[in-house]
Structure 1
Amino acid sequence: MHMASHLVQYVVLRSDLQKVMGWPLGAVVAQGCHACSAALHIFRADVHTQRYLADLGRMHKVVLAADGEDALRELTERLVADGVDHHLWVEQPENIATGLALKPYPKEEVHHHLKQFKLLK
Protein backbone atom coordinates (compact mmCIF):
# COMPACT_ATOMS: atom_id res chain seq x y z
CA MET A 1 0.00 0.00 0.00
CA HIS A 2 1.25 3.48 -0.84
CA MET A 3 1.91 6.00 1.90
CA ALA A 4 0.82 9.63 1.66
CA SER A 5 4.36 10.72 0.78
CA HIS A 6 4.10 8.73 -2.46
CA LEU A 7 0.80 10.28 -3.47
CA VAL A 8 0.64 13.30 -5.74
CA GLN A 9 -2.15 15.59 -6.79
CA TYR A 10 -1.70 16.87 -10.32
CA VAL A 11 -3.12 20.28 -11.19
CA VAL A 12 -3.28 21.62 -14.76
CA LEU A 13 -3.89 25.34 -15.24
CA ARG A 14 -4.20 27.39 -18.39
CA SER A 15 -0.99 29.34 -18.97
CA ASP A 16 -2.81 31.72 -21.31
CA LEU A 17 -4.95 33.13 -18.49
CA GLN A 18 -2.08 35.27 -17.26
CA LYS A 19 0.15 35.49 -20.34
CA VAL A 20 -2.52 36.25 -22.98
CA MET A 21 -5.70 37.23 -21.15
CA GLY A 22 -3.97 39.34 -18.50
CA TRP A 23 -5.38 37.67 -15.40
CA PRO A 24 -3.53 38.61 -12.20
CA LEU A 25 -1.38 35.84 -10.70
CA GLY A 26 -3.69 35.60 -7.68
CA ALA A 27 -6.69 34.92 -9.89
CA VAL A 28 -4.83 32.10 -11.66
CA VAL A 29 -3.73 30.62 -8.33
CA ALA A 30 -7.35 30.77 -7.15
CA GLN A 31 -8.40 28.63 -10.14
CA GLY A 32 -5.98 25.93 -9.05
CA CYS A 33 -7.24 26.18 -5.48
CA HIS A 34 -10.83 25.82 -6.67
CA ALA A 35 -9.98 22.75 -8.78
CA CYS A 36 -8.01 21.10 -5.95
CA SER A 37 -10.67 21.80 -3.33
CA ALA A 38 -13.40 20.43 -5.60
CA ALA A 39 -11.44 17.27 -6.47
CA LEU A 40 -10.61 16.58 -2.82
CA HIS A 41 -14.24 17.10 -1.83
CA ILE A 42 -15.74 15.03 -4.65
CA PHE A 43 -13.33 12.13 -4.05
CA ARG A 44 -13.18 12.49 -0.26
CA ALA A 45 -14.23 8.85 0.29
CA ASP A 46 -11.40 7.52 -1.90
CA VAL A 47 -8.64 5.72 0.01
CA HIS A 48 -5.86 7.70 -1.71
CA THR A 49 -7.59 11.01 -0.93
CA GLN A 50 -8.03 10.01 2.71
CA ARG A 51 -4.36 9.05 3.05
CA TYR A 52 -3.26 12.23 1.30
CA LEU A 53 -5.29 14.37 3.68
CA ALA A 54 -4.25 12.37 6.75
CA ASP A 55 -0.65 13.57 6.33
CA LEU A 56 -1.04 17.28 5.55
CA GLY A 57 2.62 18.07 6.14
CA ARG A 58 3.66 15.79 3.29
CA MET A 59 1.16 16.76 0.59
CA HIS A 60 2.72 16.85 -2.88
CA LYS A 61 1.20 18.72 -5.80
CA VAL A 62 2.54 19.14 -9.33
CA VAL A 63 1.20 22.17 -11.19
CA LEU A 64 1.34 21.90 -14.97
CA ALA A 65 0.47 24.29 -17.82
CA ALA A 66 -2.05 23.80 -20.60
CA ASP A 67 -1.84 26.20 -23.57
CA GLY A 68 -5.54 27.05 -23.50
CA GLU A 69 -9.08 25.89 -22.96
CA ASP A 70 -9.03 23.42 -25.88
CA ALA A 71 -5.97 21.62 -24.46
CA LEU A 72 -7.62 21.47 -21.04
CA ARG A 73 -10.89 20.08 -22.41
CA GLU A 74 -9.02 17.50 -24.55
CA LEU A 75 -7.14 16.35 -21.45
CA THR A 76 -10.44 16.02 -19.59
CA GLU A 77 -11.86 13.86 -22.39
CA ARG A 78 -8.81 11.57 -22.26
CA LEU A 79 -8.95 11.32 -18.46
CA VAL A 80 -12.65 10.44 -18.55
CA ALA A 81 -12.03 7.83 -21.25
CA ASP A 82 -9.24 6.28 -19.15
CA GLY A 83 -11.21 6.37 -15.90
CA VAL A 84 -8.91 8.88 -14.16
CA ASP A 85 -10.77 10.71 -11.39
CA HIS A 86 -10.46 14.49 -11.64
CA HIS A 87 -12.47 17.69 -11.62
CA LEU A 88 -12.52 20.29 -14.38
CA TRP A 89 -13.05 23.74 -12.89
CA VAL A 90 -15.30 25.97 -15.00
CA GLU A 91 -15.22 29.56 -13.80
CA GLN A 92 -18.57 31.33 -13.55
CA PRO A 93 -20.12 33.52 -14.75
CA GLU A 94 -17.61 33.44 -17.62
CA ASN A 95 -18.31 29.71 -18.16
CA ILE A 96 -14.72 28.99 -19.18
CA ALA A 97 -12.64 26.01 -18.15
CA THR A 98 -9.61 27.37 -16.29
CA GLY A 99 -8.00 24.34 -14.69
CA LEU A 100 -8.39 20.82 -13.47
CA ALA A 101 -7.14 18.72 -10.61
CA LEU A 102 -6.83 14.98 -10.32
CA LYS A 103 -7.63 13.32 -7.04
CA PRO A 104 -4.42 12.22 -5.28
CA TYR A 105 -2.89 9.18 -6.98
CA PRO A 106 0.34 7.24 -6.76
CA LYS A 107 2.50 9.08 -9.32
CA GLU A 108 3.23 5.97 -11.38
CA GLU A 109 -0.49 5.39 -11.98
CA VAL A 110 -1.17 8.72 -13.68
CA HIS A 111 1.97 10.62 -14.69
CA HIS A 112 1.90 9.14 -18.21
CA HIS A 113 -1.43 10.92 -18.83
CA LEU A 114 0.27 14.27 -18.26
CA LYS A 115 3.65 13.86 -19.97
CA GLN A 116 2.91 16.42 -22.68
CA PHE A 117 2.46 19.25 -20.15
CA LYS A 118 5.34 21.26 -18.71
CA LEU A 119 5.50 22.79 -15.24
CA LEU A 120 3.54 26.05 -14.96
CA LYS A 121 5.87 29.07 -14.90
Structure 2
Amino acid sequence: MAAPGEAALVQYVVLRGDLRRAPLSWPLGALVAQGCHAALAAAHAHRDHPDTRAYLAEGGAMRIVVLEAADEAVLRALAERLRRLGLDHALWTEQPEAAATCLALRPYPRREVRPHLRALPLLR
Protein backbone atom coordinates (compact mmCIF):
# COMPACT_ATOMS: atom_id res chain seq x y z
CA MET A 1 0.00 0.00 0.00
CA ALA A 2 1.33 3.43 -0.95
CA ALA A 3 2.12 5.92 1.78
CA PRO A 4 -0.21 8.92 2.06
CA GLY A 5 0.63 11.46 -0.62
CA GLU A 6 2.47 8.97 -2.85
CA ALA A 7 -0.25 9.31 -5.51
CA ALA A 8 -0.30 13.10 -5.17
CA LEU A 9 0.73 15.04 -8.24
CA VAL A 10 3.97 16.94 -7.70
CA GLN A 11 6.12 19.08 -9.96
CA TYR A 12 9.81 18.69 -9.22
CA VAL A 13 12.15 21.60 -9.99
CA VAL A 14 15.93 21.17 -9.83
CA LEU A 15 18.08 24.33 -9.57
CA ARG A 16 21.85 24.55 -9.79
CA GLY A 17 23.20 25.23 -6.32
CA ASP A 18 26.48 26.66 -7.57
CA LEU A 19 24.66 29.66 -9.07
CA ARG A 20 24.03 31.12 -5.62
CA ARG A 21 27.58 30.68 -4.35
CA ALA A 22 30.78 32.59 -5.19
CA PRO A 23 32.14 33.15 -7.73
CA LEU A 24 28.78 33.19 -9.56
CA SER A 25 26.70 34.64 -6.68
CA TRP A 26 23.42 35.08 -8.56
CA PRO A 27 20.82 37.13 -6.70
CA LEU A 28 17.89 35.23 -5.17
CA GLY A 29 15.41 36.80 -7.61
CA ALA A 30 17.39 35.52 -10.60
CA LEU A 31 17.38 31.99 -9.17
CA VAL A 32 13.64 32.11 -8.52
CA ALA A 33 13.13 33.30 -12.11
CA GLN A 34 15.07 30.30 -13.43
CA GLY A 35 12.84 27.93 -11.48
CA CYS A 36 9.72 29.71 -12.73
CA HIS A 37 10.94 29.55 -16.34
CA ALA A 38 11.61 25.81 -16.13
CA ALA A 39 8.36 24.99 -14.30
CA LEU A 40 6.26 26.93 -16.79
CA ALA A 41 8.15 25.48 -19.76
CA ALA A 42 7.55 21.91 -18.53
CA ALA A 43 3.87 22.56 -17.78
CA HIS A 44 3.35 24.26 -21.15
CA ALA A 45 5.18 21.60 -23.16
CA HIS A 46 3.06 18.88 -21.54
CA ARG A 47 -0.16 20.87 -21.09
CA ASP A 48 -2.25 18.19 -22.80
CA HIS A 49 -1.07 15.36 -20.53
CA PRO A 50 -3.86 14.29 -18.14
CA ASP A 51 -1.59 14.65 -15.10
CA THR A 52 -0.66 18.22 -16.07
CA ARG A 53 -4.30 19.16 -16.61
CA ALA A 54 -5.28 17.64 -13.26
CA TYR A 55 -2.38 19.37 -11.49
CA LEU A 56 -3.22 22.77 -12.92
CA ALA A 57 -6.87 22.29 -11.97
CA GLU A 58 -5.79 21.89 -8.32
CA GLY A 59 -5.13 25.63 -8.12
CA GLY A 60 -3.95 26.50 -4.61
CA ALA A 61 -3.33 22.83 -3.77
CA MET A 62 -0.50 22.41 -6.30
CA ARG A 63 2.71 20.90 -4.88
CA ILE A 64 6.22 21.81 -6.02
CA VAL A 65 9.41 20.32 -4.61
CA VAL A 66 12.63 22.26 -5.27
CA LEU A 67 15.83 20.23 -5.29
CA GLU A 68 19.47 21.16 -5.82
CA ALA A 69 21.95 19.94 -8.41
CA ALA A 70 25.55 20.72 -7.48
CA ASP A 71 26.44 22.30 -10.82
CA GLU A 72 25.68 22.38 -14.54
CA ALA A 73 27.30 19.01 -15.24
CA VAL A 74 25.08 17.31 -12.64
CA LEU A 75 22.00 19.08 -14.03
CA ARG A 76 22.77 18.08 -17.62
CA ALA A 77 23.48 14.48 -16.55
CA LEU A 78 20.11 14.40 -14.78
CA ALA A 79 18.38 15.73 -17.91
CA GLU A 80 19.99 12.99 -19.99
CA ARG A 81 19.01 10.32 -17.46
CA LEU A 82 15.41 11.54 -17.41
CA ARG A 83 15.39 11.54 -21.21
CA ARG A 84 16.60 7.92 -21.29
CA LEU A 85 13.93 6.97 -18.76
CA GLY A 86 11.24 8.66 -20.85
CA LEU A 87 10.32 11.12 -18.09
CA ASP A 88 8.91 14.40 -19.42
CA HIS A 89 10.87 17.47 -18.38
CA ALA A 90 12.20 20.83 -19.55
CA LEU A 91 15.82 21.90 -19.18
CA TRP A 92 15.98 25.68 -18.95
CA THR A 93 19.00 27.15 -20.71
CA GLU A 94 19.80 30.80 -20.04
CA GLN A 95 20.73 32.81 -23.14
CA PRO A 96 23.01 34.15 -24.52
CA GLU A 97 25.32 32.16 -22.22
CA ALA A 98 23.77 28.80 -23.22
CA ALA A 99 24.07 27.80 -19.56
CA ALA A 100 21.67 25.17 -18.23
CA THR A 101 20.35 26.64 -14.98
CA CYS A 102 17.29 24.64 -14.01
CA LEU A 103 15.24 21.61 -14.87
CA ALA A 104 11.58 20.92 -14.17
CA LEU A 105 9.55 17.78 -14.69
CA ARG A 106 5.94 17.95 -15.72
CA PRO A 107 3.63 17.10 -12.83
CA TYR A 108 3.86 13.40 -11.94
CA PRO A 109 2.54 11.18 -9.18
CA ARG A 110 5.28 11.42 -6.54
CA ARG A 111 5.92 7.65 -6.51
CA GLU A 112 6.78 7.64 -10.24
CA VAL A 113 9.64 10.12 -10.09
CA ARG A 114 10.92 10.32 -6.52
CA PRO A 115 13.16 7.24 -6.90
CA HIS A 116 15.00 8.96 -9.76
CA LEU A 117 15.56 12.16 -7.77
CA ARG A 118 16.24 10.71 -4.32
CA ALA A 119 19.99 11.52 -4.43
CA LEU A 120 19.34 15.26 -4.80
CA PRO A 121 18.95 17.35 -1.63
CA LEU A 122 16.26 19.93 -1.08
CA LEU A 123 17.42 23.39 -2.13
CA ARG A 124 18.41 25.32 0.99
TM-score w.r.t. the length of structure 2 is 0.92
> What CA RMSD, in Å, does the superposition of the two structures yield over aligned residues?
0.9
Residues 12-68 of structure 1: CA distance to partner in whole angstroms, max 9, x if unpaired? 000100113110000001000000010010000000000000111100000000000
Q: Which one-letter code corresponds to 1:14 in the other structure?
A: R
Counterpart-to-counterpart distance in 1, 2:99 and 2:111: 30
2:13 — aligned with what? 11
- For structure 2, which runs of at least 5 residues remain unmatched after alignment? 1-6
TM-score where L is the length of structure 1: 0.95
Write the distance in 1 (CA, Å) between the matches of 2:18 and 2:28: 11
Aligned length, in residue pairs: 117
* Runs of 5+ unmatched residues, structure 1: none
Is 1:57 paired with 2:60? Answer: yes
Alignment of 1:77-92 (within 5 A): 77-92=80-95
Structure 1 residue runs of 4 or more that deviate by more than 6 Å after TM superposition: none
Write out aligned runs for 1:1-121 (5 A): 6-20=8-22, 21-121=24-124
